[in-house]
Amino acid sequence: MKEKRERRLNSEFQREIYDILKNRVKDPEITEMFSILQVDITNDLKHAKVYVSVYSVSEQKRKTTFDAIKNSAKQVRMELGKVMRVRTVPELDFILDNSAEYGQKIDKILSGLTYSDDGEKQ
């Protein structure tokens, strides 16, 4: 039963954090497309790890956008307090998740490999 509540809370926080960042945080530094991949809240609801992926061709713009998201943590937490019905709103720790870029890199490498009919790499 606890696990179901934790999953539901994590999912709700994920949705609300994205909505707040997208619609309520007016930071001109957030220029690139991003997504909130996952939220992991501790059992006592005091801390939350928020995994963010920023999509950009420019590494500098990706870093600038992530830094702006990270710097807006207090504002996001305050907005969460207004919309979420929980006793404690956790401290937010934004973590840059590069797994999508890593997956694309691996796909590119794998697509470049060719094999002969007998299974030998060429």
The CB density around residue 96, as the number of other CB atoms within 10 Å, is: 16
User: Rounded CA gap, 64 and 53, in Å?
Assistant: 13
pLDDT score for 117? 61
Q: Please choose, from the candidates 11, 52, 10, the residue with its C-alpha nearest in 3D space to the C-alpha of residue 32.
A: 52
pLDDT score for 2? 67
CA 37 to chain centre: 4
Bridge partners of 36, per DSSP, are 52
Over 7-35, what HEC string results? HHHHHHHHHHHHHHHHHCCCCCCCCCEEE
Give all strands (DSSP E) within 2-122, no chain letters.
33-41, 47-55, 91-96
Domain ranges of the chain: 2-112
pLDDT score for 116? 60
Written as six digits, the tokens of 80 are: 């969460």
The class (CATH top level) of 2-112 is alpha beta
Give the CA count within 13 Å in the CB-facing half-sphere of 76.
Answer: 25
Averages of pLDDT over each 10 residues, the chain, 122 residues: 81 95 93 93 92 91 95 95 88 89 78 68 56
